[in-house]
């Protein structure tokens, strides 16, 4: 073979090696870009939040719909009187509460217990500034709920609402009047003074309720 042919063959081999190197570099770059793209754009869905089914009771005007609507960031204009019942999914950072609000009118309260089944917790709202008669009615309703077979073992959140009004009973007065210490002994319950203007207190009491619900479900399993 002439010298010219030999050097041509070497040149051709160099060319093949170089193009192989370029192809490998392109492949490495492609993998790198794909990995970066996946890391930046294709994050998996956030983990699902647990959902709990709650029942919300209390006399008409105690503030059930207003408090739940505010927790859902709905406009106060959307609050209408509840006839029958309504359901809201109230989102929190670590859970979603599916709250079934039952209308609190005299002629509806006798049907409350028909809607208790499947509840995992109870929210009882009272107007701390209401008349003596209404407060007594609220106390009787709360006692019936605390003793009802479908609710008696569940976590309770009792909201002493309307605390912004001058006539509002303090949380100590409510606790004594409602005889909560003896009645709710051994149960998981929270008594929270609140008003529509004090969302911090309200959210704090719901976080405590979510902790109680988590504990309760963990024990049941």
Residues that bind ligand GDP (CB under 6 A): 58, 60-66, 79, 81-82, 104, 125, 161-162, 164-165, 195-196
Q: Is 187 annotated as a binding residue?
A: no
**Nearest-CB residue for ligand GDP:** 63
The contact mask relative to Mg ion for 43-72 (x = CB under 5 A, - = no) is ---------------------xx-------
Q: Is 137 annotated as a binding residue?
A: no
Q: Which of 127, 201, 197 is nearest to 162 (CA)?
A: 127
Contact 87, 81 (CB under 8 A): no
Closest approach of Mg ion to the CB of residue 73, in Å = 17
Q: Is 164 annotated as a binding residue?
A: yes
Order of strands across the sheet with 121-127? 85-91, 96-102, 51-57, 121-127, 156-161, 189-193
Q: Is 148 annotated as a binding residue?
A: no
Q: Does 82 participate in binding Mg ion (rule CB under 5 A)?
A: yes
Which pair of structure tokens corresponds to residue 40? 């930046």
Closest approach of Mg ion to the CB of residue 159, in Å = 13
C-alpha dihedral (213, 215, 216, 217), degrees to nearest 10:
80
Residue 62 vs 119, nearer CB to Mg ion: 62
Residue 59 vs 213, nearer CB to ligand GDP: 59
Residue 100 vs 169, nearer CB to Mg ion: 100
Residue 3 vs 77, nearer CB to ligand GDP: 77
Residues 6+ apart with CB under 8 A from 25: none
51 contact, one of ligand GDP, Mg ion, none, CB 5-8 Å limit per kind: none
Q: Is 103 annotated as a binding residue?
A: no
Residue 82 vs 195, nearer CB to Mg ion: 82
Residue ranges at the known binding site for GTP: 58-65, 104, 161-164
């Amino acid at each position: 073979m002439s010298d010219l042919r030999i050097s041509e063959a070497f040149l051709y081999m160099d060319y093949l090696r170089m193009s192989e190197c370029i192809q490998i570099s392109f492949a490495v770059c492609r993998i790198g870009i794909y990995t970066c793209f996946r890391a930046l754009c294709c994050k998996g869905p956030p983990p699902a939040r647990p959902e709990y089914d709650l029942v919300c009771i209390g006399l008409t005007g105690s503030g059930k719909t207003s408090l739940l609507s505010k927790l859902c960031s709905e406009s106060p204009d959307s609050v209408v009187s509840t006839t029958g019942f309504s359901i809201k999914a109230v989102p929190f950072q670590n859970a979603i509460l599916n709250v079934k609000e039952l209308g609190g009118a005299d002629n509806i309260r006798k049907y409350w217990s028909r809607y208790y089944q499947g509840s995992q917790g109870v929210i009882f709202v009272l107007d701390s500034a209401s008349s003596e008669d209404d407060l007594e009615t609220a106390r009787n309703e709360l006692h019936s709920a605390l003793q009802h077979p479908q609710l008696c073992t569940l976590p309770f959140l009792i909201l002493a609402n309307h605390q912004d009004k001058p006539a509002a009973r303090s949380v100590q007065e409510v606790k004594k009047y409602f005889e909560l210490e003896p009645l709710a002994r051994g149960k998981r319950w929270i008594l929270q003074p609140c008003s529509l203007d004090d969302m911090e207190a309200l959210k704090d009491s719901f976080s405590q309720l979510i902790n109680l619900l988590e504990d309760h479900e963990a024990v049941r399993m």
